[in-house]
Amino acid sequence: MTTTEQDIPSSMDALVLLGPNEFEVQEAVVPEPARHEVLCEVHSVAICGTDTELIGGHFLKKGWPPGYPYTPGHEWSGVIVATGEQSAELGFEVGTRVAGTAHDGCGVCRMCVTGRYNLCWNYGHEERGHHHYGHYSTGAMRQYHATSIKSVFPIPDTMTLEQAALVDASSIALHAVKRARVNPGEVAAIIGPGAQGLLAGQAANLLGASRVIIVGRGERLKTAAAMGFEVVDNSATDGPEAVRALTEGKGADFTVDTAARGNTPADAVSMTRKGGRVSLIGIPPEPVVLPLQRIVFEEMDLMGVRANPGTCEEVIPLIAEGKLDVDTVTTHRFPLAKFAEGFETFTKRIDGAIKVLIQPNV
Ligand SMILES: [Zn+2]
Ligand SMILES: [Zn+2]
């Protein structure tokens, strides 16, 4: 640690997973930032669908978490309070407000140097400089988080730290829409009216879509309608059929599946036109039966989407300028001591919950 502007305590509160769906807030040691790392006082951590699966123990085979005890949290914001060797020289100074993210590529491999650090060849090897915070590397659901400077992005004064906690989710939504190569004037279909769907719908609009149709059900669909999107309630009607009916029988130019539940990847293909593109953001259940003959005969493109390479810097000015609304999707806030209540509010969608923030230092 080289610089401090405030007294940093030696211990803090951290959320600790002890087993599948077993967790508690424990006292933990405040980490020291290593070379090219910063220590941040965490302001807000958004709970994400991946956290639900990870906390439930459904990703243990993937090594998420790698074992117990483990601290999750990967969509977060905070303020730099201490810097490791060379971090300040590289522009990450004490007092800088940042949006944090999960992936930290090794920076050396072919994937990293071509900008695809989300696919780093050294994934899973912290000893080779790779981290995936909140997945296999220690996450941010704690009062102080030590992280690589490659995983934090300075934010302008016009952006609040609550908004900054939505940068990670927004940047993934933008990456998904970019993967679908949107052209001006196109019609987008988005499956899932959750945070990812509402953010992807806005990203589609920002990249030039003329219409965005959000397909889903429940309270969140009302939010989608209130935000000005066309909506299809697939609890009352067949989603793909309804999208085709709204597009002269053709289907959307591109579809983003943010739900990844049951048959939605196949629905995404069905509601997309010939020669159209389908982006898959959510982590789908396996195996999923896809209409491969249609994909072949109608030259459809299927895109996997992983995380947010290079797109945090793209969404930050859009959020700061009010062009990408993250406030409407941020519905609840809880202190870390009430994590269990916040988690239940998120998983059971209590009281119209979309994005739930945990604030470890309030
Ligand atoms: Zn996430
Ligand atoms: Zn790499």
> Could you report the per-residue pLDDT of 273-313, keeping only the tens digit for each?
999 999 999 888 888 899 999 999 999 999 999 999 999 99
Q: State which residues form the domain around 234.
A: 172-304
**d(C-alpha 92, C-alpha 35), whole Å:** 12
Q: What is the pLDDT of residues 64-85, one digit of tens each?
A: 999 999 999 999 999 999 999 9
How many angstroms separate the CA atoms of 289 and 297, rounded? 17
Same domain, 207 and 161: no
For residue 143, CA distances in Å to 44, 50, 103, 168 come to: 10, 21, 20, 19
End-to-end CA distance of the chain: 25
Q: How far is the CA of 132 from the centre of ligand 2 (A)?
A: 12
Find the mean pLDDT for residues 156-183: 98
Same domain, 177 and 157: no
Question: Is residue 204 domain-resident?
Answer: yes
Where in 141-283 does DSSP place strands (E)? 144-148, 152-154, 187-191, 211-216, 230-233, 252-257, 272-280
The environment of the single-atom ion ligand 2, i.e. residues with CB closer than 5 A, is 105-106, 109, 112, 120, 122
Residue 254 belongs to some domain of the structure: yes
% residues pLDDT > 70 (the chain): 98
Q: How far is CA 234 from CA 28, 48, 202, in A?
A: 45, 23, 21
> Would you state the torsion angle of the CA atoms of residues 349, 267, 59, 148, taken in this order, to the nearest 10 degrees?
-80
Same domain, 159 and 56: yes
Q: In this structure, is residue 318 part of a structural domain?
A: no
The verdict on residue 321 lying in a domain is no
Same domain, 26 and 145: yes
> What's the gap in Å between 240 CA and the centre of ligand 1?
27
**CATH code of 11's domain:** 3.90.180.10
pLDDT class for 1, splitting at 50, 70, 90?
Answer: low
205 and 253 belong to one structural domain: yes
Residue 278 inside a domain? The answer is yes
DSSP annotation of 128 reads G
Beta bridge partners of 13: 27
Q: What does the pLDDT look like over 235-248, one tens digit per residue?
A: 999 999 999 999 99
Q: Are residues 155 and 18 in the same domain?
A: yes
Residue 181 has pLDDT above 80, yes or no: yes
**Using an 8 Å Cβ cutoff, are 152 and 145 in contact?**
no
DSSP state of 159: S
Helix (H, G, I), strand (E, B) or coil at 7: coil
In a shared domain, residues 27 and 154: yes
Same domain? For 176 and 99 the reply is no
Question: Residue with structure tokens 């589609």?
Answer: 204
DSSP 223-273: HHHHTT-EEEETTTS-HHHHHHHTTTTS-EEEEEE----TTHHHHHHHTEE
- 322 found inside a domain: no
> What spacing in Å lies between the alpha carbon of 294 and ligand 1's midpoint?
32
Residues 6 or more apart from 102 whose CB is under 8 A from it? 74, 75, 132, 133, 134, 135, 151, 168, 307
The answer to whether residue 4 scores a pLDDT higher than 90 is no
**Tokens linked to 57:** 């123990």
Ligand (nearest to CA of 107) = 2
Q: Whole-number mean pLDDT of the chain?
A: 96
Higher pLDDT, 43 or 3: 43
Is 313 part of any domain?
no
317 lies in a domain?
A: no
Q: Which ligand is nearest to the CA of 170?
A: 1
Question: For 235, which DSSP code?
Answer: T
The pLDDT, as a whole number, for residue 6 is 62
Closest of 179, 255, 223 to residue 325, by C-alpha = 223
Q: 182 and 133, same structural domain?
A: no
Specify the number of domains making up the chain: 2
pLDDT reading at 3 higher than 80: no
Are 158 and 226 part of one and the same domain?
no
Are 32 and 159 in the same domain?
Answer: yes
Rounded to the nearest angstrom, the distance between the alpha carbon of 87 and the centre of ligand 2 is 20
One domain for residues 160 and 66: yes
CATH number at residue 209: 3.40.50.720
What is the reported pLDDT for 283?
85
119 Cα distance to chain centroid: 16
pLDDT of residue 178: 98
Report how far residue 202's alpha carbon sits from residue 184's, in angstroms, rounded to the nearest whole number: 14
Last residue of a domain, one of 304, 321, 343: 304
Of 287, 304, 321, which closes a domain? 304
Nearby residues for ligand 1 (ion, Cβ within 5 Å): 48, 50, 75
Q: In this predicted structure, what is the pLDDT of residue 276? A: 98
For residue 5, the model assigns a pLDDT of 53
Supply angle C-alpha 285, 289, 290, rounded to 5.
110
3-class SS of residue 96:
coil
Residue 100 CA: which ligand is closest? 1
